[in-house]
Amino acid sequence: MSQAVRLDEFHRADRSSLDLKRRSLCGACLAHALHDGYTDLLYVLLPVWQAEFGLGYAGLAVLRSLYYATMGGLQIPADRLAARWPIRMSLAVSTLVAAAGFGAMALSGSLFGLCAGLVLAGIGASLQHPRASLLVARAYGSAARGPLGIYNFAGDVGKAVFPVVVALLLGVMAWRPVAGLMAAVGLAAALALVFVLPRGSLTAAPPRASGSGGEGRGFALLMTVGAFDTATRMGTLLFLPFLLEAKGGTGTTTGLALALVFSGGAFGKAVCGWLGERLGIVPCVVATETATAVGIAALLVLPLGPTLALLPLLGLVLNGTSSVLYGTVPDLAPRGDVGRAFALFYTAVIGSGGLAPIAYGALGDRAGSAVGLLAAAATALAIVPLVLRLRRPLAASGQA
């Protein structure tokens, strides 16, 4: 009888642990989809703001940077501030602040009010990435690589859904009511997070093994790989529309091409995290980055039809590597501080995402879009020797 009781208690604990993991992952995915959707829907609003406020392209770039730079620059201080809070509270508050930013935009009657709303939304967004990633890493422990890939994929879902919804809404109403609706969606998401996310601290999953004294150097190398991977992606997307135009494509063709890239990329983010778990981190990244470089080079010589056919596969490897890299952050976190490690990593990749298009754009202005694409391919190849140097730090942390 006592053995049956112990077995029943074991099964109940196992079900409780599984429920905690699922709730943690669902909540993190909800937060990621909303915040990444907020980030990308701004592209749809830029032309509307240009017409209303009489802004040039430089002014529009400044508007976007108010949100993007705030989000990227505050990752570390925001994570440090929220380190004493339960993650459940951190994600709910960050979502509420981001929604308040869109509410401020909806109520603004001036350019200054719009700018203030963008900064407020960026402050809220700065907390989501490190806290939600830490939530998944704590919930799943050493098995977190695959779930982090799903979390990464959820961000792409938000990027795909929110801009389309906003574009459709702008056809029937002004941008301020649309911003107000986005604020309401954010408020609803914040309330949902309060109910979905588990209460208290997560201690169900064992922590990952920490590395030796070289883990700091390994993590710095990982951040460099992440920055280069982001730069490759940004450079490719910057020049892709011009390449398609040179092959005889139209605006509709470009829209289709981007949809193919992003759909392949979303699938890659969901799949590559699991592949990294099974094939090994280094072999997986070497394979995806090499395939990315070959795919970018193939775009330059293929006619339009085969180019479009290649884009989903290119999107898979172009975006999929990021899931492997995000899943490796806990393995190499200096001194085992996973939250701070995620904040540092996201700062590096977001910073690269802001600076890389400027560098590639300057090169493209001087030498043409084909050279710019080749530079993006070369950046992908440059990752290979860097990631090979991660073998020793990963072995020290217990990962292959």
**Does any domain span residue 206?**
no
262 and 388 housed in the same domain: yes
Q: Give percent of the chain above pLDDT 90.
A: 26
State residue 209's pLDDT score.
47
SS3 content of the chain, % helix, strand, coil (to 5): 85, 0, 15
169: pLDDT strictly greater than 60: yes
Query: Looking at the whole model, is its pTM more than 0.85?
Result: no
Query: Mean pLDDT lowest for which of 22-26, 209-213, 267-271?
Result: 209-213
State residue 358's pLDDT score.
77
CA 34 to chain centre: 12
153 and 283 housed in the same domain: no
180 and 229 housed in the same domain: no
165 and 249 housed in the same domain: no
**Does any domain span residue 12?**
no
175: pLDDT strictly greater than 70: yes
Largest alpha-carbon pair distance within the chain?
80
DSSP 3-state of 39: helix
What's the CA gap between 172 and 174, in Å, rounded?
7
**Does any domain span residue 205?**
no
96: pLDDT strictly greater than 90: yes
CA 33 to chain centre: 10
State residue 16's pLDDT score.
56
Tens digit of pLDDT for each residue in 335-358?
A: 777 777 888 888 888 888 777 877
**Does any domain span residue 263?**
yes
233 and 267 housed in the same domain: yes
162 and 229 housed in the same domain: no
295 and 166 housed in the same domain: no
What's the CA gap between 176 and 233, in Å, rounded?
32
Note down the domain range covering 304: 215-396
Query: Mean pLDDT lowest for which of 36-40, 142-146, 263-267, 285-289?
Result: 142-146
171 and 310 housed in the same domain: no
Average pLDDT over residues 307-326: 88
What's the CA gap between 387 and 400, in Å, rounded?
12
Tens digit of pLDDT for each residue in 223-245?
A: 999 999 999 988 888 788 888 88
55 and 164 housed in the same domain: yes
213: pLDDT strictly greater than 70: no
State residue 207's pLDDT score.
43
State residue 6's pLDDT score.
46
State residue 189's pLDDT score.
95
Q: In this structure, what CATH number is given to the domain that contains residue 315? A: 1.20.1250.20
Q: How many domains does the chain have?
A: 2
Query: What residue type is assigned to position 154 of the chain?
Result: A
147 and 266 housed in the same domain: no
What's the CA gap between 382 and 227, in Å, rounded?
12
**Does any domain span residue 238?**
yes
**Does any domain span residue 201?**
no
The answer for residues whose C-beta is within 8 angstroms of residue 59's C-beta and 6 or more apart is 50, 53
Higher pLDDT, 65 or 251: 65
185 and 242 housed in the same domain: no
Average pLDDT over residues 137-160: 80
pLDDT bracket for residue 53 (50, 70, 90): confident
28: pLDDT strictly greater than 50: yes
**Does any domain span residue 209?**
no
81: pLDDT strictly greater than 60: yes
Mean pLDDT of all residues belonging to the chain = 82
Higher pLDDT, 72 or 308: 308
State residue 2's pLDDT score.
52
**Does any domain span residue 7?**
no
State residue 208's pLDDT score.
47
300 and 384 housed in the same domain: yes
